[in-house]
């Protein structure tokens, strides 16, 4: 009996073998025979797979974002080009509709073809495309001097190079009312101003009748006495063809056309 009590007291005071600190830190088998959970780091393969998935995801998001940005930029550039071209062609149409000729005062219209001698070409400036010059009574009456009238010289042409750094050509407007002698002269910084648009080509088509076949491509000289169709006469209508591009060449060139009917034509 005493022996049994001694064993019982021993078991109460010694429930199991004492574990060292190292054994406590080492995973061991449970009483049910299972292995306890252990903490471990990611393997190299897992890290590589995760990185590849993230790279694909970021690339896809960037592609979608860039595509949307490019589409918005192109749309904005296209809208700006349409607005600028529409405003310029509208201005040209209004001014051309006021053109006049007068044999007694030697008021005439002059259209120069791309292949002919240019009015605006100088030693430093080259005029490319067609040129068109005329007289119209559109000068502001508030700016009239003592020796001035509302008559003014007007014209449109392309300067090359408009920008020496890019070799672009630009649409220019000839305008003067202070030295009105009805003689269209070469380039002058005071008379010729940029309309702020990059132009690749400018063409004028003159129709002395409403028939499309009866036209002059690029040339109209109201002082040519050998041509009864143009001598101190205005064309019935003028078709303007303007080809432009954006400043950074992000899109292809765009062609704009308009037809101007001349009320003063016979």
Spatial separation of the C-alpha atoms in residues 209 and 213, rounded to whole Å: 9
Phi first, then psi, for residue 7 (nearest 5°) are -65, -40
pTM above 0.85, yes or no: no
Which tens digits make up the pLDDT trace of 24-58? Answer: 555 554 444 445 555 677 788 888 999 999 999 99
Label residue 2 by pLDDT band (50, 70, 90). Answer: very low
Mean confidence (pLDDT) of the chain = 80
Maximum mean pLDDT: which of 8-12, 21-25, 168-172: 168-172
Residue 184 preceded by cis peptide, ω within 30: no
Instruction: Please give the share of the chain, as a percent, with pLDDT higher than 90.
Output: 31
Bridge pairing between strands 192-207 and 237-244: antiparallel
Spatial separation of the C-alpha atoms in residues 108 and 60, rounded to whole Å: 64
Written in H, E and C, the secondary structure of the chain is CHHHHHHHHHHHHCCCCCCCHHHHHCCCECCCCCECCCCCCCCHHHHHHHHHHHHHHHHHHHHHHHHHHHHHHHHHHHHHHHHHHHHHHHHHHHHHCCCECECCCCECCEEECCCCCCCCCCCCCEEEEEEEEEEECCCCHHHCCCCCCCCEEEEEEEEEEEECCCCEEEEEEEEECCCCCCCCCCCCCCCEEEEEEEEEEEEEEEECCCCCCCEEECCEECCCCCCCCCCCCCCCEEEEEEEECCCCCCCCCEEEEEEEECCCCC
202 phi and psi, to 5 degrees?
-140, 125
Half-sphere CA count of 168, side-chain side, radius 13 A: 19
**58-87: per-residue pLDDT in tens?**
999 988 888 888 888 777 878 888 898 999
Nearest partner of 232 among 60, 103, 57, judged by Cα? 103
State the Cα–Cα distance between residues 222 and 233, nearest whole angstrom.
6
User: pLDDT at residue 248 above 60?
Assistant: yes
Task: Enumerate the domain spans of the chain.
Answer: 71-140+148-261
Strand partners for 153: 135, 176
3-class SS letters over 77-115: HHHHHHHHHHHHHHHHHHHHCCCECECCCCECCEEECCC
């Amino acid at each position: 009996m005493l022996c049994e009590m001694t064993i019982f007291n021993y078991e109460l005071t010694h429930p199991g073998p004492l574990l060292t600190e190292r054994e406590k830190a080492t995973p061991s088998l449970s009483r049910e025979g299972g292995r306890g959970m252990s903490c471990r780091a990611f393997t190299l393969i897992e890290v590589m797979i995760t990185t590849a998935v993230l790279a694909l995801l970021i690339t896809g998001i960037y592609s979608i974002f860039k595509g949307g940005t490019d589409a918005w930029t192109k749309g904005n550039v296209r809208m700006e080009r349409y607005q600028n071209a529409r405003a310029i062609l509208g201005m040209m149409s209004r001014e051309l509709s006021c053109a006049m000729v007068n044999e007694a005062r030697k008021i005439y219209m002059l259209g120069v073809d791309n292949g002919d001698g240019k009015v605006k070409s100088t030693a430093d400036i080259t005029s490319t495309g067609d040129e068109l010059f005329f007289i119209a009574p559109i000068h502001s009456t508030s700016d009239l001097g003592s020796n001035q009238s509302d008559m003014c010289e007007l014209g449109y042409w392309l300067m090359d190079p408009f920008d020496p750094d890019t070799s672009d050509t630009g649409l220019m407007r000839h305008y003067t009312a202070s030295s009105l002698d009805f003689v269209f002269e070469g380039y002058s910084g005071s008379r010729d101003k940029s309309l702020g648009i990059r132009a690749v080509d400018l063409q004028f088509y003159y129709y002395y009748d409403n028939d499309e076949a009866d036209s002059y491509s690029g040339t109209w000289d109201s002082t040519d006495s050998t041509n009864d169709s143009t001598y101190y006469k205005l064309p019935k209508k003028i078709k303007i063809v303007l080809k432009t591009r954006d400043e950074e060449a992000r899109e292809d060139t765009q062609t704009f056309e308009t037809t101007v009917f001349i009320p003063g034509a016979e």
